[in-house]
Structure 1
Amino acid sequence: MPGPAVNTGREFRNAMGRFATGVTIVSTAVDGEVHGMTANGFMSVSLDPRLVLISVREEARIRALLERSGTYGVSVLSRGHRLVSDHFAGRRGEQPPADFVDLAGVPVVADAITRVAARIVAIHPAGDHLLYVGQVMDFADEQQGEPLIFHGGRYRELGADSDAPVIWHELAHAWF
């Protein structure tokens, strides 16, 4: 039997890009200045206590700022935020950066569809990234809109809603 295939880092990145994700802005403030980066490495970890997690590349500029501030905001972008996403991903165009508002002392994108403010409670090294677990201090979820989706290296939009019912009870038993 042949050994495992040896794939390049780019091939692995492309394979992982087959998993559709939302697009967020991770933000923090240091010395009164707002800093942010586009990220899709975000997830809810726990409901009680309320914990969220972000994944940040070790060499990212925001890393030291997160650790200095001890807090971060996560703003879930809508499909109308493509230029904002591009700006904080380093592809600066003519579009000015997003407007930020304060949520529990943490900057978040004013018109994001969901906004979370978290206090860093743990940092875990994970390869070339660091995982920042944050305890949710506050969140806001009153905005409407379709999320900005990233898949296969491109922005995408959700398709039509399916009429098929989701049977959560069966799904939960399949996962555990």
Structure 2
Amino acid sequence: MSVDQHEFRAALGRFASGVTVVTTVLDGVDHVMTASAFTSVSLVPPQVLVCAHRGARFHDAVLASGSWGVTILSDRGRATSAWFANRGRPLENQLDKCSYRRGPGGVALLDTGLAWMECRTAAVHDGGDHSIIVGDVVWAEVTGSDVDDPLLYYRSHYGTIVRSEDSEKTLLAEADG
């Protein structure tokens, strides 16, 4: 039985995700991509993963460099996310359109983030037309400002959260009560 590709893509579009920008440096050149296929893997040791399309120029660069940075975008990062999701943009000076700093390991970290991490590649797994890149987190930081609205992606649209009075803890307390 084969999966209808249109229905599969539509089903995946109904999963809201956060948005990240992942960066690496190879031979002095910055490589950057927007990624919503990002998640934590382990707390001990601290690990995350990102999926990179095998046909993207970022893919070979991040595999060759072995180190990469992650910016978890705030809602202020919409234009930045769209820019780095644009295939075929010029490689040279692509960071000129955004404000960024260099992390301790030298990768670009965007100022429109809520949190930042630097990673060393621990493993690479086959993921069909993508590679699943698992990284050991070697450094992490969160924003010290009051900005706390994450950039979300759902059905090809950007958004952010609408806060509810309920949280995982309040719902558990109600279930136990």
Give the TM-score normalised by structure 1.
0.84
Corresponding position of 1:135? 136
Say what the alpha-carbon RMSD is for the aligned residues. Answer: 2.2
1:150 is displaced (CA, Å) by 0.3
1:88 equivalent in alignment to 2:107 = no
Corresponding position of 2:151? 148
Written as runs of structure 1 = structure 2, the 5 A alignment for 1:1-176 is 6-90=2-86, 96-105=96-105, 106-143=107-144, 144-159=147-162, 161-167=163-169
1:32 is displaced (CA, Å) by 1.9
Any conservation in 2 of the 1:43–1:53 contact (CA below 8 Å)? yes
1:138 is displaced (CA, Å) by 0.3
How many residues in Structure 1 have an aligned counterpart in Structure 2?
164
Corresponding position of 2:175? none
Unmatched runs of 5 consecutive residues or more in structure 1: 171-176
Deviates more, 1:24-33 or 1:115-124: 24-33
Corresponding position of 2:92? none
Unmatched runs of 5 consecutive residues or more in structure 2: 90-94, 173-177
Any conservation in 2 of the 1:103–1:139 contact (CA below 8 Å)? no
1:126 is displaced (CA, Å) by 1.2
Any conservation in 2 of the 1:38–1:85 contact (CA below 8 Å)? yes
Q: Equivalents in 1 of 2:154, 2:14: separation in Å? A: 6
Any conservation in 1 of the 2:76–2:112 contact (CA below 8 Å)? no
1:98 is displaced (CA, Å) by 2.0
Query: 1:24 is matched by which residue type in structure 2?
Result: T
1:102 is displaced (CA, Å) by 1.8
1:165 is displaced (CA, Å) by 3.9
Greater fraction of residues in helix? 2
Q: Equivalents in 2 of 1:156, 1:119: separation in Å? A: 30
1:96 is displaced (CA, Å) by 4.8
Q: Equivalents in 2 of 1:7, 1:130: separation in Å? A: 21
Query: 2:130 is matched by which residue type in structure 1?
Result: H
